[in-house]
């Protein structure tokens, strides 16, 4: 197991996300929606950086996508639910979904379905802290913090201060068959 | 570890109860959205097998299953071949052949849902069997109480009415004891059994019970249909002794007590009309919470797992 990314790398990734989002949307009302778990923490950090700008209407929400997964049949137990918390009107909003890692794209597919049950947004974009490739769905990010080169069977383990106590990213390689 | 069936509250440990109550919160949160439905049980089938009349529990389960996107079929017992003498076993074999994933059973005989559970791979949920158990009612009552008292330990709940015939009293007091709630019964001596759970105070006098200083007053329905023998002289007499009259409601309001009732209410028997407008009545909360809790149960159970 190698300790791939440090707290500094992660902070730089969050900075890049905030910068890219600011350049494209400065002054336009946007809503950041973090996907549980850890996407919410990334979204919070980005929000903190964006809040430094004056006169910018920013909304924030948290989405749990457990009920929208497509793999219930393969699970021994259904995943534990957490509350979603979306208090701003989704109807007509410009939403930026935020997650920690983009992999197959299935989580984002589920998040889009979940989001649409709150209303019809004017626009939905995707921001991810880490893009590790290997998509199984036609889903691409609009904002990326860090691009990681991984193999399909690798596990990318993201720890974040608020959720796990420290900032780091590890890759656990599966032995090749 | 997920279970196949939910037959009885007594079988659940504290951890499982806490999990189900916690998991009901995100389901309740869905009710505030414009779309109240989620796709979690898409393609799954739920069969409602009600041998006893029920409007509330039946529709609550039906709404819960539909909000999870399951397909719901009503096995209409009154019009089925059951009335032509088909045994429960034969019915279950038929249902097994239909490959239904969940069976929700209500029956007048205690233990029948458990019997069905042994014969089928489907998850069986007991929606009330005789005077035995009504586990989802217990869960929704506990959930409703926890909304008002997040840590219910040491809180006092007074259950009033026909304890003897009530599966609600049995299941709800079982779950409340597991959560550390102090439970007492109040009712006519003939309807409050001496045997049963330990550490439950028993009152026959309303005033004495109020001196005990409950936080919540839980009224049971007087079940005219379940009594073969007369256990109290008349409904008017029952109302006079144990019903919530205008005067008693005033006292309850002064003390700030919460009121609960599993429904449907017999107005003028367990309670007077004014109770329906009482600001600390949790009766409507119980109805709404019932759907959330039943969604959590359906989501938690795993049909077809090998575990008994």
Share of chain A above pLDDT 70, in %: 97
Q: pLDDT-derived band of residue B98, with 50, 70 and 90 as boundaries? A: confident
B178-190 as b/e, with b when 16 or more CB fall inside 10 Å? bbebbbbbbbbee
Query: What structural domains and CATH numbers belong to chain B?
Result: 9-134+288-300 (3.40.50.1370), 135-286 (3.40.50.1370)
CB B278 within 8 A of CB B253: yes
Q: What is the DSSP string of B61-99?
A: HHHHHHHTT-EEEE--GGGSGGGGT--HHHHHHHHHHTT
pLDDT digits (tens, 9 = 90+) for A51-69: 999 899 999 999 999 999 9
What global pTM score does this model have? 0.91
Q: pLDDT-derived band of residue B202, with 50, 70 and 90 as boundaries? A: very high
**How far is Cα B14 from Cα B3, in angstroms, rounded to an integer?**
14
Q: What is the structure's pLDDT at A77?
A: 81
Nearest to B35 among A64, A84, A117 (CB): A117
Q: What is the structure's pLDDT at A176?
A: 61
Any residues with CB less than 8 A from the CB of B102 and at least 6 apart, and which?
B44, B45, B46, B47, B65, B70, B122, B123, B124, B125, B298, B301, B303
Q: Domain A7-151 belongs to what topology?
A: Rossmann fold (3.40.50)
A142-167 as b/e, with b when 16 or more CB fall inside 10 Å? ebbbbebebeeebebebbbeeeeeeb
Q: Say if residue B308's pLDDT is above 50.
A: no
- The arithmetic mean of pLDDT across residues B105-122, rounded, is 92
CA distance B90 to chain A (A): 29
Compute how many other C-beta atoms are within 10 angstroms of the C-beta atom of residue A85.
15
* Summary mean pLDDT of chain A: 93
**How far is Cα B11 from Cα B300, in angstroms, rounded to an integer?**
15
**How far is Cα B73 from Cα B176, in angstroms, rounded to an integer?**
33
On the 0-12 / 13-18 / 19+ scale of CB atoms within 10 A, B279 is: exposed
- The arithmetic mean of pLDDT across residues A141-164, rounded, is 95
Would you kindly state where each structural domain of chain A is located, as residue ranges? 7-151
> Are A117 and B2 in contact (CB < 8 Å)?
no
> Are B34 and A118 in contact (CB < 8 Å)?
yes
DSSP state of A77: S
pLDDT digits (tens, 9 = 90+) for B10-64: 999 999 999 999 999 999 999 988 899 999 999 999 999 998 888 899 999 999 9
> Are B40 and A117 in contact (CB < 8 Å)?
no
Q: What is the structure's pLDDT at B228?
A: 54
> Are B299 and A118 in contact (CB < 8 Å)?
no
Size of interface A-B (CB pairs under 8 A): 46
- Which strands, in side-by-side order, build the sheet including B258-260? B201-203, B182-186, B156-160, B216-219, B258-260
Q: What is the structure's pLDDT at A43?
A: 98
Q: What is the structure's pLDDT at B53?
A: 83
Q: Say if residue A4's pLDDT is above 60.
A: yes
Return the closest-CA partner of residue B229 out of B172, B171, B162: B162
On the 0-12 / 13-18 / 19+ scale of CB atoms within 10 A, A134 is: middle
pLDDT digits (tens, 9 = 90+) for B234-275: 888 889 999 999 999 999 999 999 999 999 898 999 999 999
Q: Does A48 touch chain B (CB under 8 A)?
A: no
Residue carrying structure tokens 């919410």: A40
Nearest to B33 among A81, A82, A117 (CB): A117
């Amino acid at each position: 197991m190698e300790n791939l990314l440090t707290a500094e790398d992660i902070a730089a990734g969050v900075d890049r996300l905030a910068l890219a989002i600011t350049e494209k949307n400065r002054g336009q009302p946007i809503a950041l929606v973090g996907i549980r778990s850890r996407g919410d923490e990334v979204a919070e950090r980005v929000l903190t950086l964006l809040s430094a700008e004056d006169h910018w209407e920013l909304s924030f929400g948290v989405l749990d996508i457990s009920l929208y997964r497509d793999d219930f049949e393969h699970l021994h137990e259904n995943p534990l639910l957490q509350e979603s918390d979306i208090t701003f009107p989704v109807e007509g909003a410009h939403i930026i979904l935020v997650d920690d890692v983009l992999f197959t794209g299935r989580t984002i597919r589920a998040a889009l379905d979940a989001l649409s049950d709150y209303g019809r947004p004017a626009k939905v974009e995707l921001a991810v802290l880490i893009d590790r490739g290997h998509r199984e769905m036609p889903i691409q990010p609009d904002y990326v913090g860090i691009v990681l080169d991984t193999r399909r069977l690798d596990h990318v383990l993201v720890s974040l201060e608020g959720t796990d106590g420290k900032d780091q990213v590890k890759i656990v390689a599966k032995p090749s068959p | 570890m997920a279970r196949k069936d939910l037959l009885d509250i007594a079988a659940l440990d504290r951890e499982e109860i806490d999990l189900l109550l916690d998991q009901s919160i995100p389901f309740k949160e869905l009710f505030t959205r414009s779309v109240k439905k989620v796709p979690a049980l898409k393609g799954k089938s739920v069969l409602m097998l009600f041998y006893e009349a029920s409007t509330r529990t039946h529709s609550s389960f039906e709404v819960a299953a539909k909000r999870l996107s399951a397909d719901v079929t009503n096995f209409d017992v009154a019009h089925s071949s059951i009335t032509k003498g088909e045994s429960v076993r034969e019915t279950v074999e038929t249902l097994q052949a239909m490959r239904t994933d969940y069976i929700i059973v209500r029956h007048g005989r205690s233990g029948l849902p458990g019997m069905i559970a042994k014969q089928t791979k489907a998850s069986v949920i007991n929606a009330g069997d005789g005077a035995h158990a009504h586990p989802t009612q217990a869960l929704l009552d506990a959930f409703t109480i926890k909304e008002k008292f997040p840590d219910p330990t040491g809180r006092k709940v007074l259950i009033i009415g026909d304890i003897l015939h009530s599966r609600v009293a049995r299941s709800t007091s079982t779950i409340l004891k597991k959560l550390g709630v102090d439970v007492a019964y109040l009712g006519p001596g003939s309807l409050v059994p001496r045997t049963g759970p330990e550490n439950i105070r028993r009152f026959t006098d309303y005033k004495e019970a109020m001196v005990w200083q409950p936080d919540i007053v839980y009224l049971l329905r007087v079940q005219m249909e379940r009594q073969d023998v007369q256990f109290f002289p008349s409904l008017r007499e029952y109302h006079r002794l144990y019903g919530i009259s205008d005067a008693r409601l005033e006292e309850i309001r002064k003390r700030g007590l919460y009121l609960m009732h599993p429904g449907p209410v017999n107005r003028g028997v367990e309670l007077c009309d004014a109770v329906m407008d009482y600001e600390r009545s949790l009766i409507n909360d119980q109805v709404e919470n019932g759907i959330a809790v039943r969604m959590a149960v359906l989501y938690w159970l795993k049909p077809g797992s090998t575990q008994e």
